[in-house]
Structure 1
Amino acid sequence: MRQSRDSAREIWGKRTPHPADQRWPARVDERVKEEPDRWVQSACVLCSNGCGCDIGVKDGRIVGVRGRAVDVVNFGRMGPKGLNGWEANNSPDRLTTPLIRRAGRLEPTSWDEAMSLIAQRTRDIRDRYTSSAIGFYTSGQLFLEEYYTLAMIGKAGLGTPHMDGNTRLCTATAAAALKETFGSDGQPGAYEDIDVTDCIVLVGHNMAATDTVLWMRILDRLAAPDPPKLIVIDPRHTATAEKADVHLAPKVGTNLALLNGLLHLLIDGGHADHSFIDAHTRGFDVLTEIVREYTPGRVEEITHVHPADLRRAADIIAASKGLVSTCLQGVYQSNQATATACQVNNLNLILGRIGRPGCGILQMNGQPTSQNTRETGADGDLPGFRNWANMEHIRELARLWNVEPDIIPHWSPPTHALEMFHHCETGSIRMLWISATNPAVSMPNLPRIRAILEKEELFVVAQDAFMTETTQLADVVLPAAIWGEKTGCFTNVSRTVHISHKAVDPPGAARSDLDIWLDYARRMEFRDKDGAPLIKWSDAEGAFDAWRECSRGRPCDYSGLSYAKLTGGSGIPWPVNEAHPNGSVRIYEDLRFPTDPEFCEHFGSDLDTGAPWDETKFRAFEPDGRAFLKGTHYRPPTEEPDAEYPIYLTTGRLVYHFHTRTKTGRSKPLRDAAPEERVQIARADAQRIGIGEGDWVRITSRRGSVEARATLGDIAPGHAFVPFHFGYWDGPGHAQAANELTLFEWDPISKQPHFKYAAVRLERVDEPSSKQPIQVNLDPEQTGGDPSLASAALRAVKGAAKAAVQAVTPGKPRAHLADYLGLLDESEKRLIKAFDQVRETHPDTPDVVTECKMFAEWASQATVSLQPFIARYGERLEDEPERLDKALLVQRKQAGFDLLRDMHDLFLLVNESLISVTVLDQAALALRDEDLRSVLENIRSHNDRMREWLYARCRQAAPQVLVVPS
């Protein structure tokens, strides 16, 4: 064994201080068990930092790693996960052959049988239920080339809108906030900004644990003669907070109120850069009105942060010349996540601190390749940061892929992960393909998730390197190669692209995710519109070259990159193109942002409701390359402590583990450093409840209970903290997964789940008494599976969940297009009746007579045009109650007030018809039925004109009717 340090004990290593005018010095960290025969270039995949490293290989096995001194991300440094996590590659319980479930057992099979089954089930489900019954749930651990291939399979091969990843759990809010503020994803800051700034603000970001090498970068600046000021916002007193000049510990779920308070102080104190704001932003006046209410006193009432501390933080920010702002899961997974992350953006923007050294925003990621899911479209967005609501972007992508535009899902916002699982729950999604992630531990409300994955009618494919709580519930398990066993690229938070070369072969018959999806595409015979294979590459480099062309001209431009250029030196930050052949340390140096309507990735959203803006509303703000200063008011979380559940639970990461410990739990140094689940409790709360250090504690929410030993202190009173890493694959013997307790709800814009708050109660127990909810067979290839590993308790949950789903979707599944066609047909017939009735009631009002006659004719034409589609798609099975007739088809008299009421009722009836048209048009887009779309567009056009006339007529009549007595 040779190692530069025991990183489990010396987490961040020795300091290498440097002043702001010097580059961060190199320091090479290394840990090898045997002297390598050779070193292979790679980068670490065990946090979002993306540190360049080399893999040591001997006799075809990984024996160690070392940092790459030339790499701009880490200059040779590595954290404890990076130095130790590679041991998982050599774990004896790796999956090495495919498995198929037969009679309840997972049994070994061949690749041909497994892939043939998957392809056949895909075709069966697609043909019976359409491609919208198929979903893909992926990871932030794969490579760019794999994501792009998957995105093409899903979007251009199958045409399913259901594609997302566990990046929804960790980085969705980062992407959403960047789109809301700047019009596109892409980090406006760089790691290099830390080296020169004089002020750093970490919001909900325990960097010392989540991004250890980036924290080393800050520690080295703090140790220099000219250290930056550090402000940390976190309810826990972490190792990060220990180094802060100001530590603000807000009550969980109140981040937005605190940031509104900081903005209030900066604006009220005269520190806003008005020349920058006027030239480069939109929305400052509205933002100012919102934050005016958040005085230090009001902020204290909401957050429990003392006004003097808030003012001190604002003073530090105001007095600095630079500002690096970062945030992570403390923002993203909490109340009003996207709105809060936008306020982090606003801190920099109102001060004009962006686009230059020392001034940047890092909306951090939680995983090393999550940026690539967003870039390539594997998370539901469109590849190249294209706008799903911009039809020209759809056509551009269709030309690139040589497919018809209508196959690419764009008829509604992409389906997010929790909504996909809900579709699985109700039976709307019949096939779910899960790759390199473990939702049976990482998703919220685990009893519900397990019940969904166990549904008999849901065909689950899971590809992973190990048996997990998720693969245990799958119908087909595919053994996957992991980092070090395949070649590919990935991009970190700082937009730096690394290449990871294959160092060793995967064990047994395990295959790379890329090879699995290429095989699937061949078996499905996906074709472009000329009949050629849709996927035109056969290896990783071919996929990368195709991606380069897809990204050309977009914000994430890779067109100037190649495998050769990425090999041998440092990672390179995008955009890399003719204008920036060596990459771009930071973007927006020209202070022009990608908000032009023809170019932007997103038209924006309502920060409270999440409702997307359309292009017309977006253009009305005249963005013209300016950033948006969006804001809103604080609202309390949906679940707050009460007498029964008096403590706020929050969850998060440990420095030693990554996600559900699938890899880090198989590294002895990391497992020994953090072997079990713990619950962190404030000393005052522990004393009140009677809990001592190391005592067993039962934590109970409205969704379940877990048990863990207590750790006391370093957290605000009224709060408890549980890491989310610990599940059941290594057999704890009792319930311990934090997500047994969390809520199945999400942010209205980013759709990221709310892991950071749940009301719980704590009680001391002598020992754990709960049952382990699921058992995992770590070696099904040898035992042939064991149906007893699904516990009786879990089978009971499954049965209850199945009964609940049947209650929601009784009888034989059927498409409901016919029902809405019937609704629209009835609405138009009702309009005929209504217009005729109003015309007869008011014969002496000429415009009403003539217009209502014409409108009734239009409605009659609509009913005739719908009949061929009713014949094609079927009749409604249930009668629609004539609920509107009684309310809106009232026989009135010929009088001014009665005429106004009739116009009002007609307006409502026309809108009833229009919503049916809108719903049916979305379905017609999904079915690619252009004939139906044409008919619906004609009905919409007529009904829009009806509505406009009725609206104007009501406005015209109102003053005389309502003001003059009659």
Structure 2
Amino acid sequence: MAAASAQPKIQSRDSIEDVWGPRTPYKDEWPTRVDKSCDEEPEKWVQSACVLCSNGCGLDIGVKDGKVVGVRGRATDRVNKGRLGPKGLNGWRAMHAKDRLTHPLIRKNGQLERASWDEAMDLIVAKSKDLQKHMTNHSIAFYTTGQLFLEEYYALAMVGKAGLHTLHMDGNTRLCTATAATAMRESFGSDGQPGSYGDIDYTECIFMVGHNMAATQTVLWSRILDRLAGPSPPKLIVVDPRRSESASKATLHLAPKVGTNLALLNGIQHLMFKNGWVDYEWAERHTVGLEDLKATVAEYDPQTVERITGISVEQLEEAARILGTSKSLLSTALQGVYQSNQATASACQINNINLLRGMIGKPGCGVLQMNGQPTAQNNREAGCDGEYPGFRNHQNPAHMAELAKLWNIEPAKVPHWNEPTHIMNLLNYIEADTIKMFWITCTNPLVSLPNLPRVRRLLTKPDLFVVCQDIYMTETAAIADVVLPAAQWGEKTGCFTNVDRTVHISHKAVDPPGECRPDLDIFLDYARRMGFKDKDGNDLMPWKTSEEVFEAWKKLSAGRPCDYSGLSYDRLTGGSGIQWPCNEQNPHGTERLYADGQFFTDVDHCESFGHDLETGAPYSREEYEHLNPRGRAILKACHYSPPMEEPDDEFPLRLSTGRNTYHFHTRTKTGRSAPLQKSCPEPEVRISEQDAAKAGVSDGEMVVVRSKRGAVEVKCRVGKMVSKGNVFMPFHFGYWDNKDGRATAANELTIDRWDPVSKQPMFKAGAVRIEMIPADRASGPYIPEPQTGALEEAAQKPDVSAMTNSEDQAKYERQMELFLGETYETTVQLLEIYGSLIPQLIHHDQEVEGGLRMLHKLADGMRARLEPHVQRLGENKQRGRHRAHVLREALFPHPDDESDSPSIAYQVLETLQGLAVYLSHIQSSLTALEPVALAMWDAEFSQAVQSAQQCVHRMTAWVKQQIKVRSPQTLLVPIIPAASKGRD
């Protein structure tokens, strides 16, 4: 399908050639400039905002004869003051592409065939209920986007969390913005940008880390260019391995090796401490973790940082001097941090730098952990990916009880036994055959996810039921079993929130084509057909309009950091967007968070208790209380570790993927706008002159880029933009408009590793090589595209109307009973260990003998609590001998065996150590059963497991104390070994 081809007849400027527009130099307040692009003069203008990057520029949609004919920037809007970028001025043209999906499709006889809405929805509901009956709700998963409206996200969150009570919900915001959210939770206690776009107007220094703003947020970059052209321009430090457009304007450009951000940022903090560029008075009053951070970064002296990153001592010292002495500081970050090695740890160090200077919550001072998509913030707020609605903490029972009350459902049915399932684990569960239905909304994982060969194999599995809800036939929709045609921006009403918390309303301008429905209507229809009810028997989601959903959301957000209670459709209509929190205390919105030095870190208010940045393990409430932040920000420290896949002789180059100025995501929209597609019609790989010479390739030549996972065939661009040892590819290109049959998707190459905390994939990691294409090759593509093979796999699937599990249920066996039986048997064995085995191994140790009576009583109580549930739920013993027996024999010798212990005291210590290991085994078994019981919504089973955990905890505490008391005397004081006594 060719892109819509007409060129705009009315335009304020050619935004393709003049991306950022003419300069309007300023100081203090950014001047207005209205950009406009239309085919003809509209009959009316309808208020909206741009959805083609995360900036959230206010715009008006021009309509004539029921058709969108153009756009103009909103002069009154605080975000853009009337300006629009090339995507904003040209992206609307995709609305007129002729390959729009206009009616539902169902796969029959291997092909997607037209169906009615009733047929499609009845099939989805029948499949859902069949899976509920035979494989539980946890066999159904959702994967959404960063482009829906707030109201649609909230409805989807309720479908998953309140209707199906499942954790299996994630979005493609996982790919671009998960680290931003995580880093703010770690440092500030909650998601939500501390800073404001207005800080650009006043700051003396801008620190951009892994953020090529010139390409990703062109209007915001215009604001910076205008500051740089005006009086008193700010210093600009850019951290980017490439010499990007942003880097070309920098006061100081730091180009570290890919994957070494953390070492660089630690080195900057090292120099800040060394040179006294820390506001100790502010930091000691408003932060915790100062001494731990200082001790950690002490190891990152300039020489060490130069060895790791390639940044010279002189450059590092200059960067630290500028950051440490500027009177105000605005820091930003994006994918160069989030998609790279140690993402969350690195993003937290950016927060640290501002916190160490006390530069947060003040004009010109703040942090913008940027988003990559226009409505990613709403996805996080509403709880459709890794969060819970209203930034609530799943480890806080009061937060979960509050959700249950607001939704009027039983508290046990709020899914809170783990963090929501991230996309990489969703894929793992698909591979393990425990997810059987995958509902994909407004995103294209067959282009956007890493390691595409694996993703393609999993999403075309014969027994996976795939629902795809979108506006065009994407690569993913083409392999789906049911395709639902959705209304898009301009064809529905709703709100969305940009990076700096500005909430915009987008009013419906035109009717959607054919039978397309708004995503909100689709989710509400599903909920109605599924019969989702609250605990009083009323419809769980009774709404009819988006405004009704918005009013419900306001109640849920009230009192939380993202408080919308002071907003309304009326207030958002007619003027500018408004920043949350907006409530009685802040009726006009809030430009900056933390102006009073108070953060969202109180234990009863925070969104998260934080994580170990190296392992990713979450901290408990008890660990968080020990940290005792009490409204103070948390300085998080972490040591640098090298990336998992480094270049070697076989794959000598570091791969980095990223965005292009003219395209968004997988080009679903921008690829169908002629001006945008023409400006960037195909992918290219950028390589340095040195590496090109070594590979024997030249500028403009077609080459193969190969990794351990796959290969692509693209044009090579040689130049100074990329430093030696690195290559760069845009990730936008897939196969929906592929004409020459070549493999072109960058994610054929990427590694499916992810950050341990945010679970964001490391797209800026992995190693590749560049290969010449043989001159004598046959005609046609050298590396053929793989999408055709995926379509052939999908065509082999059975008719989806027959894809039920009823007749195949005998093939499936729940494994919970097996694990429960194993756990129960450990308690039976524990009673025998206490009752007879240890007394035979340890003679006349009065303290142990006395303790065993108490331990036996606890173990018997634990067994008694678990036994009714074993009898009720069943115990699968098909595996024969229990692991409990094997472990017991390994840890405790038979009483008749001759001991090789040098003394009785040593034998007692060994026995206690074995008992500690055995109890640890039981504890880990109960740890596994705890979320299982919660996921079964079985309150009695859950209480029994928790009671058993308390028993094990008490037993373990006794054993550890015995080991601590006995070990010094037993191990330090020399003795004559028992085996040697009497020989002399």
Kindly tell me: are residues 308 and 896 of structure 1, through their superposed partners in 2, closer, same or farther at Cα, counting changes over 3 Å? same
Task: Give the superposed CA RMSD.
Answer: 1.6
Structure 2 match to 1:859: 859
3-state SS of 1:260 partner: helix
What is the alpha-carbon distance in structure 2 between the residues aligned to residue 937 and residue 498 of structure 1?
A: 46
Matched, 1:721 2:734: no
Matched letter for residue 887 of structure 2:
L
Structure 1 residues 605-614 or 858-867, which shifts more? Answer: 858-867
Match of 2:746 among 735, 738, 742: 738
Alignment map for 1:306-705 (pairs within 5 Å): 306-705=312-711
Matched letter for residue 11 of structure 2:
Q
Structure 2 match to 1:771: 784
Structure 1 residues 423-432 or 865-874, which shifts more? Answer: 865-874
Matched letter for residue 355 of structure 1:
G
Structure 1 match to 2:263: 257
3-state SS of 2:487 partner: coil
Structure 2 match to 1:780: none
Residues 515-536 of structure 1: CA distance to partner in whole angstroms, max 9, x if unpaired?
0001001001100000000012
Give, in angstroms, the shift of residue 860 of structure 1.
Answer: 3.6
Structure 2 match to 1:752: 760
Residues 188-227 of structure 1: CA distance to partner in whole angstroms, max 9, x if unpaired?
1000000110100100000000000000000000000210
Structure 1 match to 2:892: 889
What is the alpha-carbon distance in structure 2 between the residues aligned to residue 772 and residue 904 of structure 1?
A: 58
8 Å contact 1:773–1:791 — kept in the other structure?
A: no
What is the alpha-carbon distance in structure 2 between the residues aligned to residue 624 and residue 938 of structure 1?
A: 31
What is the alpha-carbon distance in structure 2 between the residues aligned to residue 278 and residue 811 of structure 1?
A: 63
Give, in angstroms, the shift of residue 941 of structure 1.
Answer: 2.0
Residues 865-888 of structure 1: CA distance to partner in whole angstroms, max 9, x if unpaired?
433323333332313343312321
What is the alpha-carbon distance in structure 1 between the residues aligned to residue 259 and residue 893 of structure 2?
A: 49
Kindly tell me: are residues 114 and 888 of structure 1, through their superposed partners in 2, closer, same or farther at Cα, counting changes over 3 Å? same
Structure 1 residues 178-187 or 687-696, which shifts more? Answer: 687-696
Residues 374-427 of structure 1: CA distance to partner in whole angstroms, max 9, x if unpaired?
111111311111101000000011111111111111001211111112111211
Residues 809-848 of structure 1: CA distance to partner in whole angstroms, max 9, x if unpaired?
9993322111111111121122122212112333422232
Matched letter for residue 693 of structure 2:
Q
Matched letter for residue 863 of structure 1:
R
Structure 2 match to 1:944: 953
Gaps spanning 5+ residues in structure 2: where? Answer: 1-8, 799-807, 976-984
8 Å contact 2:460–2:790 — kept in the other structure?
A: no
Structure 1 length-normalised TM? 0.96
Structure 2 match to 1:223: 229
Paired-residue identity, %? 54
Matched letter for residue 886 of structure 1:
E
Matched, 1:104 2:110: yes
Residues 878-913 of structure 1: CA distance to partner in whole angstroms, max 9, x if unpaired?
133433123212146682111111111111111111
Matched letter for residue 24 of structure 2:
T
Structure 1 match to 2:813: 814
Matched letter for residue 8 of structure 1:
I
Matched letter for residue 761 of structure 1:
R
Give, in angstroms, the shift of residue 791 of structure 1.
Answer: 4.4
Structure 1 match to 2:967: 958
Matched letter for residue 915 of structure 1:
S
What is the alpha-carbon distance in structure 2 between the residues aligned to residue 335 and residue 438 of structure 1?
A: 24
Matched, 1:916 2:917: no
Give, in angstroms, the shift of residue 857 of structure 1.
Answer: 4.0
Residues 46-84 of structure 1: CA distance to partner in whole angstroms, max 9, x if unpaired?
000000000001111111100000000000000000100
Give, in angstroms, the shift of residue 241 of structure 1.
Answer: 0.5
Matched letter for residue 815 of structure 2:
H
8 Å contact 2:186–2:348 — kept in the other structure?
A: yes
Structure 1 residues 230-239 or 829-838, which shifts more? Answer: 829-838
Residues 230-283 of structure 1: CA distance to partner in whole angstroms, max 9, x if unpaired?
000000001100100100000000011111111111111111000011100011
What is the alpha-carbon distance in structure 1 between the residues aligned to residue 959 and residue 661 of structure 2?
A: 63
Matched, 1:18 2:26: yes
8 Å contact 1:32–1:56 — kept in the other structure?
A: yes
What is the alpha-carbon distance in structure 2 between the residues aligned to residue 282 and residue 600 of structure 1?
A: 15
Give, in angstroms, the shift of residue 935 of structure 1.
Answer: 2.0
Structure 2 length-normalised TM? 0.94
Matched, 1:176 2:182: yes
Gaps spanning 5+ residues in structure 1: where? Answer: 776-787, 800-808
Matched letter for residue 878 of structure 1:
R
Structure 2 match to 1:870: 870
3-state SS of 1:384 partner: coil
Alignment map for 1:148-227 (pairs within 5 Å): 148-227=154-233
3-state SS of 1:594 partner: coil
What is the alpha-carbon distance in structure 1 between the residues aligned to residue 236 and residue 841 of structure 2?
A: 74
Give, in angstroms, the shift of residue 965 of structure 1.
Answer: 2.5
Residues 98-154 of structure 1: CA distance to partner in whole angstroms, max 9, x if unpaired?
000112110000000100110111111111111111111000000000000111111
What is the alpha-carbon distance in structure 2 between the residues aligned to residue 689 and residue 945 of structure 1?
A: 64
What is the alpha-carbon distance in structure 2 between the residues aligned to residue 587 and residue 865 of structure 1?
A: 49
- Alignment: residue pair count: 941
3-state SS of 2:811 partner: coil
8 Å contact 1:817–1:873 — kept in the other structure?
A: no
What is the alpha-carbon distance in structure 1 between the residues aligned to residue 627 and residue 863 of structure 2?
A: 39
Match of 1:761 among 756, 769, 775: 769
What is the alpha-carbon distance in structure 1 between the residues aligned to residue 607 and residue 519 of structure 2?
A: 28
What is the alpha-carbon distance in structure 1 between the residues aligned to residue 950 and residue 350 of structure 2?
A: 43
8 Å contact 1:576–1:583 — kept in the other structure?
A: yes
Residues 293-337 of structure 1: CA distance to partner in whole angstroms, max 9, x if unpaired?
111111111111111111111121122101000000000000000
8 Å contact 2:377–2:499 — kept in the other structure?
A: yes
Give, in angstroms, the shift of residue 636 of structure 1.
Answer: 0.4
What is the alpha-carbon distance in structure 2 between the residues aligned to residue 273 and residue 606 of structure 1?
A: 26
What is the alpha-carbon distance in structure 2 between the residues aligned to residue 232 and residue 858 of structure 1?
A: 61
Matched letter for residue 357 of structure 1:
P
Matched letter for residue 728 of structure 1:
Y
Matched, 1:929 2:921: no
